[in-house]
Amino acid sequence: MAVAAELPALDALGPAGAYHARERQTITDVAGNPLAELSLVPSLFVTRAMAALHKAATMPVDERLAALARAGDAHAMGSVDGVSPADHQFIVSRCSGMPISVVRSASEAIARSAAQAYLSVQHARPVGAVNHWRDPLTRTGRAVWTRRGDVFAVHAPGNHPGVHGLWLEALALGYRVAVRPSRRDPFTPHRLISALRTAGFGDDQVVLLPTGYDTADAILRGADLAMAYGGEDVMRKYATQTKMLPQGPGRSKILLTADVDWRDHLDVIVASITHEGGRACVNTTAVFVEGDTTPVAQALAERLAAIPSLPPQDEHAVLPVLPMADAHELERYLLAKAAGTVPWLGGDGVVDELGDGSAVLRPAVHELDRPDAEQAGIELSFPCVWVAPWTPEAGLEPLKETLVITAITHDTRLVDALVAEPTISNVYVGDHPTYWIEPGIPHDGYLADFLMRTKAVIRD
């Protein structure tokens, strides 16, 4: 009788090195094939790991910045733990269902973020503040930019590997960091933290703590500050906790006013919906149109219907893939929520089975009859867009609670209002996709706004 091959071990990375836990979970690909055994650490391990981070000394700034750059290069272009970039990207694609081209771009983006982490955080430093109390300017009195704590924890999502480029800024600022990975993609943070350690960060500077749900909050409790990703439940749970930075749905939008010809901007609208597999918080969820919504919805449906259904590891894949049961569950949710709308695409379903236990989530386009329809605020993890009417009389109300809005308009007063609106995080004016971002540009504000504070210093 043949003996089953032993699965690769994806160990926790604790303050004393790799840890092979007694409790493990099998990580599978989108077709249900086993990929690795992920160690799940118990609460006592978490408590001791967080205590070790608190006791560790902060690395000198020059050393940690050089190590960050080396780690980013290794993550994107080197062999880490004997795994090549191509093999890593393949396994992340198969595990998460993200198109492999998106995974590859995310690896390159993480490398850029690592190399520019310190420069990026400096964009957030108040112009009147200095980085250290020894700065000569403190002799006459100055604000000094300092950390709000020493240990930062991250409950990472699995919707997109690129999110791991953000917490590198905490390392650049001198925080010790604990990451709880998502089971949808534990491979990206494991590889990145392994690269950071090889590049010069001590084991007590950055740790990977996979846990069960019952132990997850112990990581957050053990940190000075923490960031957690999730849906509305996460936003409600942590909304009042000052040490927590919850990261919820983006509900990103495009606004087309009557003084522009939307047909000239169809490419950027389609790209905003489909880029990143349609899974990112910066993907467009709703398109608001001043004027007739029907031609816009019809044009989007025609363009999105032409995208092929392919497995995630295919170089031409654009759409995300899920295990078949998960895909059908999401489809049922969509169809229930879309009741009463005009379906231009996906009205009969969005699941396209690949025959191996996985399924492509095909795009959906639904037309709404009013700007305040509740569907316009529904964000799903694939290219799904709601096309809604908008008028100046409707004002900003339907456009609120938005991570990114691309306003394709010549109305500068409207842009003034959008920029001034507190619940809109980012405003792009003109032909710019909602997914555009660069190092040094705030995502949902600067992370350093949360991690840092200023204090007055004057010395002899």
Q: Is the model's pLDDT at 334 over the cut of 80?
A: yes
3-state SS of 109-175 is HHHHHHHCHHHHHHCCCCCCEECCCCCHHHHHCEEEEEECCCEEEEECCCCCHHHHHCCHHHHHCCC
Q: How many Cα neighbours within 13 Å face the side chain of 242?
A: 2
For residue 5, name the pLDDT band (cuts at 50, 70, 90): low
| pLDDT tens-digit readout, 69-127 | 999 999 999 999 999 999 999 999 999 999 999 999 999 999 999 999 999 999 999 99
Identify the burial level of 392 via C-beta atoms within 10 angstroms of its C-beta, where 0-12 means exposed, 13-18 middle and 19 or more buried. Answer: exposed
Decide the pairing of beta strands 321-323 and 358-361: antiparallel
Report the residue count for the chain: 460
User: Per the structure block, which two tokens stand in for 184?
Assistant: 């949808």
Domains identified in the chain and CATH numbers? 9-248 (3.40.605.10), 252-429 (3.40.309.10)
The DSSP result for 87-112, as a single string, is HHHHHHHHHH---HHHHHHHHHHHHH
CB 208 within 8 A of CB 190: yes
Confidence of residue 234 (pLDDT cuts 50, 70, 90): confident
CA distances 424 to 28, 42, 242, 333, Å, are 37, 40, 21, 27
Amino acid identity, position 151: V
Across the chain, mean pLDDT equals 96
What is the spatial distance between Cα 370 and Cα 383, in angstroms, rounded to a whole number? 21
Could you tell me which residues come within 8 angstroms of residue 240 by beta carbon, excluding any fewer than 6 positions away?
none
The per-residue pLDDT for range 250-302, each reduced to its tens digit, is 999 999 999 999 999 999 999 999 999 999 999 999 999 999 999 999 999 99
**362-380 per-position pLDDT tens digit:** 999 999 999 999 999 999 9
Q: Which of these, 379, 292, 306, lies nearest to 345 by C-alpha position?
A: 306
Condensed to tens digits (0 to 9), the pLDDT of residues 184-233 reads: 999 999 999 999 999 999 999 999 999 998 899 999 999 999 999 987 77
The pLDDT, as a whole number, for residue 192 is 98
